[in-house]
Structure 1
Amino acid sequence: MAGQAWPFRDAVDSFQRIRPLTPAARCSAAIEVLTDIAERRRPAADALKDWGLAHRFAGSGDRAGIASLVYDALRRRSSAAWIMGSDSPRAVLIGALRLQQGLAAASVAALFSGERFAPEPLTDDERARLDTATLQDAPPEVAGDAPAFVLSDLAVTLGDDLIPELKALARRAPLDIRVNTLRGPRDEILPALAAFGAEPTPHAPQGLRIPIGADGRGPALHVEAEFLEGWYEIQDEGSQLAALLAAPQSGETIVDLCAGGGGKTLALAAETGNGAHLIATDGDPRRLAPIHERLRRSGAGAEVRSPRGGRARIDVLEDLDGTVDRVLVDAPCTGSGTWRRNPDAKWRLRPGSLALRTAEQTQVLDRAARLVRPGGRIVYVTCSLLSVENDAAVDGLLSRWRGRFTVIAATEVLAAGPASLREAVRITTHGIQLSPHRTGTDGFYVAVIARNA
């Protein structure tokens, strides 16, 4: 059955309120959510939220377990469909249980038994495919679980590492936090997180990595006292390193042009010890909403400038044109470097949406170019592995502002980061590429461009 109807809502409400869902019942729920995603072409988070609202008897552990199954299936959607010979939600989940969780056919059959709330039993063909099918002859877009239309672009950046990097992007992401040095050093907070198995991240000097469970979940760190007191922020190590490579200096005027929720704003404030005049803004004022509480909690000092709407929209940075020492452009992008965390995003990516993002990157880079003073620097960052969003965007800036900007050599940019990073990153034409396979982080790109004096 491609999409089995959910059997609980009337018959067994009271039973399921007492006991958590069985693993088999979670598989049934995951198939239902995957069917909703496929039929309505909607984000996984929306489908999971609606499922939870419609099945309130499911506890938080059940909802998290179902979400883990759904996201694992999306991570391996193409390869799972290949080995199962079908792209139905049921087939994709079965294939993902083998590919992502390493379950043998007998273990999958125990979940797909057709018994109480379980999916229908495996067919003979499904059993045979679980036992014998391989990815040996699969094309790159299947072996790497990525949209075919971006492979040629990804190959520009990743070269011979294309398939290993794509496979790394199909794994679960780690849980990283950045220790807020405005509160104290990393060593001071480490004992408080020892119970969670926290260990220093491989590269970021203020990062800690927390092991995730078999279901892909980490602990609820956002409710811990140390988080509420501003000792740390949840932030991928790659994002931490991008802020570090921006090399902010005390005494500078720094604009975080696409600040969003403020993750990198807080990192810049900590790196300068609140010694810089830091200004955070974003083209969408709704994205700035969380920054105020995060600044308060962390003790970070930053001026937040929210754009005002209306027909006569006012540029809230106009008074700074030509005076800013450093502009961080954490540009809107496809997020291809974060597919470990947002696997459904890769399947919703279309050529049109990519073109929209590159147009936005042109716009924010040109805005940064007007802000930065002679001798100042633009730090261009994306969470993308696509060259069209990275080196090509820098090429566009250099072409449009011919003779007025110079790219800073990667060796100089890397000098602001830890020595271990220098051997791990991939150097591109204009910048530095972090990636899951090479650095164990999300896929971040960093380029630094100086305005000529």
Structure 2
Amino acid sequence: MTPAARTEAAVEILDQVIAAASEGGAAADTLVSRYFGTRRYAGAKDRRAVRDLVYAAIRRAGERPTGGRAAMVALADDDPALAATFDGSVHGPAPIEADEPRAVAGSAPDWLVETLVASGVSSETMAALVGRAPLDLRVNRLKASREDVLAMLPEVEATPFAPDGLRLWRGGNVEAMPVYRDGLVEVQDEGSQIVGMALGAKPGDRIVDLCAGAGGKTLALAAAMANEGVLLAADVDRARLSRLKPRSVRAGVTIVETLLLDPNREAEALGDWVGTADGVLVDAPCSGTGTWRRNPEARWRLTPDRIDRLAMTQTRLLALAATLVRPGGTLAYIVCSLLDAEGAEQVDAFLAAHPRWIAEPPALPAGRSHGAGRRLDPARDGTDGFFVARLRAPC
């Protein structure tokens, strides 16, 4: 592909990403893969170059652009070499007009920036939220130590905070690595590893991972439990939960039981667990504002109404989780969001409704106190953005 053809391809993909963001469609990485799935002539360098252009344009545009060309023209305004590819050639985009529409630069839509500022998020953090993230791995201590894997992979380094974390700055095809195929590592952001430690799971515990998804934190809990005890992974998403079984087999995890829940009828299926769990992890569905480094177009999908609906779900899940915890047991509440409506305010409301419960400062190796919990952010901690709180049930 010529440079001009790469630019045109990026414009076409961005058109799809923008449409999907407004209609609730597929994520950008999926759309990039689909685009090249029908264009076998594009080599690896072409695909990588186009993908980089797409994500650079997404990261630059705070508001959802009117179209892919507007996003790319705005990017070209800061890059003369890119602007030169708008040459009107057969496979390239038409020349840039001085007065044509351009995407507006920013960290997020204005209303969302205001909401983040009101939640105590700094301008440095907002800029970091749309930066590029490294590729982090978690060593599966059921099969190896971090020192073992570091010796096998000279291109990785230990993460600064998570005791089992590794970092690949250049990325790469992790699934092709023998250490991945053999279950020695999982892909997991360092921040996700850190907040999962808040529950304090230990060997022999009875633990519920209430919003397990595909099981990233479930597998980390199993490792912390040394494969001893009972670990229930529950979720309402059949497709995501089905991915946990093969991952467990690869990781050598044998203590996980899965439970598919019906939305809004979760309590019925969890009846046998009421008042018996040593710990419950609630990695609640949320806006994902803390994960924009990996999914920058996600900020175009949010609306105030969607955040309100998510907050209602979070409140309901916290109340449900509280019924499962035994006297003196622990509830860890996690969101990959920096919005107080989903984090600190949720915990404050829970404590007001459950006055005998107490918030315990989670002893974590990173982050800072925020409300009754702790917050991690990319500018200060180099992780995705998270809020986590540790809550103790009355005895």
The answer to whether the superposition gives a TM-score over 0.5 is yes
The answer to whether the 8 A contact 1:326-1:378 is kept is yes
Of the three residues 148, 169, 186, the one matched with 2:110 is 148
Change (3 A) 1:278 1:145: same
Does 1:188 pair with 2:148?
yes
Corresponding residue of 2:125:
165
Residue aligned with 1:153, SS: helix
Write the distance in 2 (CA, Å) between the matches of 1:226 and 1:337: 28
Corresponding residue of 1:28:
8
The answer to whether the 8 A contact 1:295-1:302 is kept is no
Corresponding residue of 1:76:
60
* TM-superposed deviation, 1:121: 3.0
The answer to whether the 8 A contact 1:383-1:442 is kept is yes
* TM-superposed deviation, 1:308: 5.8
The answer to whether the 8 A contact 2:60-2:105 is kept is no
Per-residue CA distance 1:375-416 (angstroms, 9 max, x = gap): 111000010010000011112222333x231111x2xx12xx
Write the distance in 2 (CA, Å) between the matches of 1:97 and 1:276: 56
Q: How does 1:192-207 map to 2 (within 5 A)?
A: 192-194=152-154, 197-207=155-165
Corresponding residue of 1:319:
272
Q: How does 1:14-413 map to 2 (within 5 A)?
A: 21-39=1-19, 41=22, 42-43=25-26, 44-78=28-62, 88-96=67-75, 103=79, 105=80, 107-115=81-89, 117-123=91-97, 144-159=106-121, 161=122, 163-194=123-154, 197-212=155-170, 218-307=171-260, 315-401=268-354, 403-408=355-360, 410=361, 413=362
Sequence identity, in percent? 39
The answer to whether the 8 A contact 2:125-2:379 is kept is yes
The answer to whether the 8 A contact 1:281-1:307 is kept is yes
Write the distance in 2 (CA, Å) between the matches of 1:367 and 1:317: 9
Corresponding residue of 1:133:
none
TM-score (norm 2): 0.91
Write the distance in 1 (CA, Å) between the matches of 2:128 and 2:264: 45
Residue aligned with 1:306, SS: strand
Residue aligned with 2:268, SS: coil
Write the distance in 1 (CA, Å) between the matches of 2:90 and 2:233: 54
Write the distance in 1 (CA, Å) between the matches of 2:165 and 2:352: 37
* TM-superposed deviation, 1:228: 0.6
Residue aligned with 2:62, SS: helix
Change (3 A) 1:316 1:210: same
Which deviates the most, 31-40 or 265-274?
31-40
Count of aligned positions: 390
Structure showing greater Rg: 1
Q: Which has the higher helix share?
A: 1
Write the distance in 1 (CA, Å) between the matches of 2:163 and 2:263: 43
* TM-superposed deviation, 1:309: 5.5
What runs of 5+ residues in structure 2 fail to find an aligned partner?
none
Residue aligned with 2:341, SS: helix
* TM-superposed deviation, 1:248: 1.2
Corresponding residue of 2:394:
452
Corresponding residue of 2:371:
429
* TM-superposed deviation, 1:201: 0.9
* TM-superposed deviation, 1:235: 0.6
Write the distance in 1 (CA, Å) between the matches of 2:266 and 2:192: 31
Instruction: Provide the alpha-carbon RMSD of the alignment.
Output: 2.6
Amino acid across the alignment from 1:285: R
Write the distance in 2 (CA, Å) between the matches of 1:356 and 1:80: 21
Corresponding residue of 1:7:
none
Write the distance in 2 (CA, Å) between the matches of 1:326 and 1:311: 22
The answer to whether the 8 A contact 2:202-2:226 is kept is no
Write the distance in 2 (CA, Å) between the matches of 1:153 and 1:28: 35
Corresponding residue of 1:4:
none
Residue aligned with 2:275, SS: coil
Amino acid across the alignment from 1:289: S
Change (3 A) 1:314 1:429: closer
* TM-superposed deviation, 1:54: 4.2
